[in-house]
């Protein structure tokens, strides 16, 4: 889970040889098919010049502030949207805390949806990261605590959206969802109505959570069952720690970009798009 600019905004600092397909910028459409330059298969490393990456990042920030920020009921400082053109808010009463990070992709749009007729509400805490393909739908209330990591294609909902026999009119049966602090929800997991997930817990990939999860617990399966109990006295590192350095997080990100991408040259990048070689 890496980002469009520095690539380490979500789970850590990326290696220069990480697959670029994971962190293409929101302006890909300007540079590839339908745009100015041909699109090639993903390279083994990032050949983009540092200046280009900073320009694309500035555009991404401008787009998010111009078109996404006004749609939130409230949004804290430090929000970072990767591929913001693929991030959707449908309905009112959506709020996020400080340093909210969302990385969408063309084939993994992020959607936050509230049902207006029943006053659905989505409240997301600080230092939360949403990965490509995340969908959160609320007919009553979905609350997500601080420092949570929501992996790709996770679905969270507080309603059935139709009844077992009455299958025409939404939203069906509803019950609030509450997710604690520092919760990790893995790929393709589903969290259904009425669920409470305790602090520091982990939901395994592909799990379907239909009942409450205690704190410091790993659950998995369909329906999800406890797999392992974590040490409640252990010291957890959390996404909040990324923003507690003496040096602002944004400066750390820029330093890493300069370190990895500074040597890249414009001509080499263009050549890698048109005629890639094994070194790319």
Alpha carbon distance 94, 102 (integer Å): 14
pLDDT per position as a tens digit, 92-101: 999 999 999 9
Q: Is pLDDT of 17 > 50?
A: no
Is 162 an annotated catalytic residue? yes
Active-site residue, from 24, 69, 99, 162: 162
As assigned by CATH, the class of the 73-244 domain is mainly beta
Tell me the domain boundaries of the chain. Answer: 1-71+247-280, 73-244
pLDDT per position as a tens digit, 241-266: 988 877 888 888 888 889 989 999 99
With bands split at pLDDT 50, 70 and 90, how would you rate the model's confidence at 43? low
pLDDT per position as a tens digit, 193-205: 999 999 999 999 9
């Amino acid at each position: 889970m890496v980002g469009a600019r520095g690539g380490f905004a979500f789970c850590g600092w990326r290696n220069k040889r990480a697959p670029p397909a994971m962190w293409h910028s929101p302006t890909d459409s300007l540079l590839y098919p339908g745009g100015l330059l041909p699109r090639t298969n993903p390279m083994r490393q990032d050949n983009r010049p540092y200046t280009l990456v900073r320009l694309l990042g500035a555009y991404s920030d401008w787009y998010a502030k111009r078109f996404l920020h006004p749609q939130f009921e409230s949004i804290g400082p430090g929000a970072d949207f990767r591929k913001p053109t693929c991030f959707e808010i449908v309905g009112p009463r959506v709020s996020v805390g400080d340093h909210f990070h969302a990385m969408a992709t063309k084939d993994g749009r992020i959607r936050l949806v509230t049902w207006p007729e029943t006053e659905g509400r989505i409240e997301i805490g600080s230092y939360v990261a949403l990965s490509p393909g995340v969908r959160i739908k609320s007919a009553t209330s979905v609350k997500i605590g601080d420092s949570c990591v929501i992996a790709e294609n996770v679905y969270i909902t507080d309603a059935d959206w139709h009844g077992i026999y009455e299958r025409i009119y939404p939203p069906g049966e509803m019950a609030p969802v509450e997710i604690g602090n520092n919760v990790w929800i893995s790929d393709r997991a589903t969290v259904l109505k009425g669920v409470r997930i305790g602090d520091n817990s982990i939901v395994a990939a592909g799990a379907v959570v239909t009942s409450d999860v205690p704190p410091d617990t790993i659950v998995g399966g369909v329906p999800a069952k406890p797999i392992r109990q974590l040490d409640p006295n252990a010291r957890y590192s959390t996404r909040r720690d990324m923003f507690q350095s003496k040096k602002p997080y944004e400066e750390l990100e820029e330093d890493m970009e300069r370190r990895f991408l500074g040597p890249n040259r414009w001509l080499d990048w263009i050549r890698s798009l048109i005629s890639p070689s094994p070194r790319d």
